[in-house]
Amino acid sequence: MRTPIIAGNWKLNKNRAEAEVLAKGVVEAVKDAKGVEVILCPVFTALETVARVVAGTNVKLGAQDVYWEETGAFTGEVSGSLLKDIGCTYVIVAHSERRQFFGETNETANKKVKAVLKNGLTPILCVGETLAEREAGKMEAVVSAHVRHGLVGLSVAELEQIVIAYEPVWAIGTGKTATPQQAQDVHALIRSLLKEIGGETVAAKMRIQYGGSVKPDNVKELMAQPDIDGALVGGASLKADSFAALVKF
């Protein structure tokens, strides 16, 4: 019922020429993939290049961040309408690296989610605890706050559009994956929060991706969990063959 969604977050990697090669490799490798949504999220400067490569294919384009205002004196920012104009259909919001290094808060995450929806795009709202928070027994409180505050003020119809990515910070880029059971437990927690926020139908429809060192050799077990609906992938999305292997889990 929920279509799995595999998204590659290229982070600050790949110039236009490299992005073109990688995107072409992914398009070719996943051209027969069915029943799964595939998304590539390059840096802003490579969006147009990748948009051209994925046009007319089963691969979609996403951005790694957005600003909530549409126009004006906001030097360095990019709006939802500009991302739509360049061909994006997805936007990652509040990735833990944005929270950690660039002052992203639950409040700014919520503004960004709303701006993305207003432009008819799909937000991928990232939530997840740090190792210190997990070890201090705060995982549930942190994840709940990320979900609740990130989704404040949205209608049922809007909630249904949103993808949540559970990314325990201690598993991102570290090679330490949450065990399938650890991930499933948090995904189940998130789904119960979604039920409280939007009701049973919304909770059943919303997709929750797992992110954190997802690799071809662990994707199958993760995806077999009942509340894991896909993956947000960093490192393993930078090579066409490893990313394609995830898509074909």
Q: How far is the CB of 181 from ligand PEP (least distance, A)?
A: 19
Q: Which is nearer to ligand PEP, 87 or 216 (CB)?
A: 216
Q: How far is the CB of 176 from ligand PEP (least distance, A)?
A: 9
Cβ atoms of 151 and 110 within 8 Å: the answer is yes
SS3 63: strand
SS3 83: helix
The sign one gets for the Cα dihedral 193, 99, 122, 239 is negative
- Residue numbers of the site for ligand PEP (CB under 6 A)? 9, 167, 172-173, 211-214, 232-236
Q: Which is nearer to ligand PEP, 79 or 213 (CB)?
A: 213
How is residue 24 written in tokens? 């072409």
How is residue 220 written in tokens? 């199958």
Find the residue with minimal CB distance to ligand PEP.
234
- Around Cβ 87, how many Cβ atoms within 10 Å? 16
SS3 238: coil
Q: How far is the CB of 169 from ligand PEP (least distance, A)?
A: 10
Q: Which is nearer to ligand PEP, 108 or 213 (CB)?
A: 213
Active site residues per annotation? 95, 167
Buried b / exposed e over 162-172, threshold 16 CB at 10 Å, is: bbbbbbbbbbb
Q: How far is the CB of 44 from ligand PEP (least distance, A)?
A: 16
Q: Which is nearer to ligand PEP, 50 or 203 (CB)?
A: 50
